[in-house]
Structure 1
Amino acid sequence: MWRRLLLSVTMLGSAVPAFSAGRYYCAADDSNIKLSIDAGFEETGATKLNHFRGALIAKSAEVPAGFKTLMLDSGQLVHHWIYDGDLRLEVFARGEDQDSGKSFDLIVMSSGKNGAAPMSGNYVLTFNVPDAAPLELKGHLTCSVK
């Protein structure tokens, strides 16, 4: 009897379903920027981030030199949130070498309750340069869930 019970518990424990990561693809292409972001989250527990990368090309002539083309990675991701159809990301980085006093801050906000439909959202991109007012670019973006 005990063997059957132990065998049943063992079999049920091994039958736990495998969970895959939820992937989010966000893109914007307007007069300010061309942006592509790929973020992956575990679907179990606290939806831990397991993948982040992106690319940003600034089209505006006002964008500081050194920030026209940016490759985004998880080392720059300072905040991420995914909950109930809402996606929030914040990417921050400082310039290097001759651009050491400059920085950029990208905030992505997207919402959508239906996982099959594209999620609409906005971005706010702020460039900070010493001895100048911050340059803030805003626009719309679309995210999809894979």
Structure 2
Amino acid sequence: MGRTILLLAGLLGAAGAAHADSRFFCSTDDNSARFTIESGFQDEAGHRLNHFRGALIVKNNSVPEAFRKRVFDSSKLTNRWSHDGELRLEIFDDGSEDAKDQSLSLVILAEGRGKNFSGTYGLTVSGDGKPFTASGKVSCGSK
């Protein structure tokens, strides 16, 4: 009987450890951009998105004023993936009427285990005129 209780306690402890962290945050501050993104996924099957927000400042003056400072909510998150230590986010912003047929795309790819991990980002502002592109390192973490 004692072994059964010990075995059940061990299995329950392992089951609790198997749940992934549900909140992720990523940020960067380099010569091209500064941003912070936070996303949350449910621990249940399917890992549905339950939270997303972010803010971006593009530091290049050739980018239209409409895209130099942006705030994001879940309506701008077009693709997302969180599985087995891998995080992928794609944010698309058409800028509404202020953007004059231009758009912004921010893609974050990160991978790692534990509370802190890293990855890369790619940023593109396209439409009228020459497109602006930037890429760099991103630091991420989980709570």
TM range (shorter): 0.7 to 0.9
Instruction: Please give the alpha-carbon distance, in whole angstroms, between the structure 1 residues aligned to 2:40 and 2:98.
Output: 33
**1:97 matched to 2:97:** yes
**1:115 matched to 2:108:** no
Instruction: Give the superposed CA RMSD.
Output: 1.7
Percent identity over the alignment is 36
Instruction: Please give the alpha-carbon distance, in whole angstroms, between the structure 1 residues aligned to 2:95 and 2:54.
Output: 17
Tell me the equivalent position of 1:5: none
- Quote how far apart the aligned CAs of 1:135 are: 1.4
**1:33 matched to 2:29:** no
Instruction: Please give the alpha-carbon distance, in whole angstroms, between the structure 2 residues aligned to 1:121 and 1:96.
Output: 30
Task: State the one-letter code of the partner of 1:124.
Answer: G
How high is the TM-score relative to the length of structure 1?
0.80
Tell me the equivalent position of 2:64: 64
How high is the TM-score relative to the length of structure 2?
0.82
Contact kept in structure 2, 1:81 and 1:87, CA below 8 Å: yes
Instruction: Please give the alpha-carbon distance, in whole angstroms, between the structure 2 residues aligned to 1:59 and 1:133.
Output: 16
Contact kept in structure 2, 1:40 and 1:51, CA below 8 Å: yes
Unaligned 5+ runs, structure 2 = 1-15
Larger proportion of helix: 2
Contact kept in structure 1, 2:86 and 2:110, CA below 8 Å: yes
- Quote how far apart the aligned CAs of 1:95 are: 2.0
Secondary structure, aligned partner of 1:67: helix
Large movers: runs of 4+ above 3 Å: none
**Rg comparison, structure with higher value:** 1
CA offsets, 1:18-41, max 9 Å, x none? x79610011100011110011000
